[in-house]
A and B are shown apart, each in its own frame.
Chain A
Amino acid sequence: MNKALDLTLAALADPTRRAILQRLSHGEARVTELAAPFPISLNSVSKHIRILERARLVRRRRAGREHLLSLEQKPLDEAAAWMAGQRNIWNARLDVLEALLEAEDVASSPGA
């Protein structure tokens, strides 16, 4: 699980790879279609795609001689859930702090 998350975050830490994922969020695409908008070689785009496949963010299927790539949503959802969890930890601590300060207010208010 944590290894998978490492791979997801590493894969997302690159603008070309994020652009590839963005494109795939609109639907399946061929490698050549994916490479077209980028001012880099087909070979470098292929490397980026391999990193995305290793992180299981991209799935490849063959249709005859074509390789079609599609987006795999699950690791993205898992990364988002983990980040939300980290926020929840701090929100829970701040909830306790808020309760502590309000308890002091109650204790110090006249008539309490």
Chain B
Amino acid sequence: MTTPKTVTVKVSRRFKASPERVFDAWLDPAKARLFLFATPAGEVVRADIDARVGGRFLIADRRDGEDVEHTGEYLEIERPRRLVFTFGVPKFSKDYSRVSIDIVAMDGGSELTLTHEGVLAEYADKTPEGWGMIFDGLTRLLG
């Protein structure tokens, strides 16, 4: 039982926006810094996106004076229907998980399905704080 156990997380969402606009948001540093890996306790200090297959992204946020980097590599970029990238937080673990995003046109808008594979059970105890922080960020953004 030395293999770390992982699970796959899958979520879907419908948007009024077109597949192109939803897709582009993931590769636009100005938007990605607001919704992807942003936390209210932290301030995003860097958002670099090299949007090509084999290119990398790095989004860093500063929490209590400490920078936490979220990083990964783009594996598939097929605008506007599919985006696949690896994702990791080197500060906490050397392991990378994999995020696949599939977007289809629907009812004048679009539907996005996100599949996150290789989510480590090790982070279980960090989770409640993690999503609490993100929910706070959302409230602030919408307020």
B-binding residues in A (CB < 8 A): 1-2, 5-7, 9-10, 13, 82-83, 85-102, 104-105
- On whether the beta carbons of B135 and A92 are closer than 8 Å, the reply is yes
Q: Measured between C-beta atoms, what is the minimum distance from B91 to chain A in Å?
A: 17
Q: How far does the alpha carbon of A82 sit from the alpha carbon of B123 in the complex, in Å?
A: 9
Assess A99 versus B134: contact at CB under 8 Å? Given A2-B125, A6-B4, A94-B11: no
Sample (17) of A-B pairs whose CB atoms are under 8 Å apart: A2-B123, A5-B121, A6-B122, A9-B7, A82-B124, A86-B116, A88-B131, A89-B127, A92-B138, A94-B112, A101-B16, A101-B22, A101-B25, A102-B16, A104-B21, A105-B16, A105-B17
Say how far B136's CB is from chain A's closest CB, in angstroms. Answer: 10
- CB A97 to nearest CB in B, in angstroms, measures 4
Asked whether any CB of chain A lies closer than 8 Å to the CB of B9, the reply is: yes
Kindly list chain B residues whose C-beta atoms are within 8 Å of the C-beta of A10: 1, 5
Chain B positions near chain A (C-beta within 8 angstroms): 1, 4-7, 9-11, 13, 15-17, 21-22, 25, 31, 34-38, 112, 114, 116, 119, 121-125, 127-128, 130-131, 134-135, 137-138, 141-142
Select B15's contact among A6, A96, A101, beta carbons within 8 Å.
Answer: A101
Q: Is there contact, CB below 8 Å, between A97 and B22? A: yes
| Chain A, residue nearest B6 (CB) | A9
User: Is the CB–CB distance between A96 and B141 below 8 Å?
Assistant: yes
A64 to B13, CA, bound (A): 56
The one of A6, A83, A85, A96 that contacts B34, using a Cβ cutoff of 8 Å: A96
- Could you say which of B5, B36, B119, B125 contacts A93, with CB atoms under 8 Å apart? B36
B64, chain A: closest CB distance, angstroms:
20
Give bound CA distance, A1 to B116, whole Å.
Answer: 22
- Check if A92 sits within 8 Å of B134, measured CB to CB: yes
B122 and A96 contact, CB distance less than 8 A: no
Cβ contact of A83, chosen from B9, B22, B122, cutoff 8 A:
B9
B residues in contact with A99, CB < 8 Å: 138, 141-142
Closest to B25 in A: A97
A92 (CB) vs chain B CBs: closest residue: B134
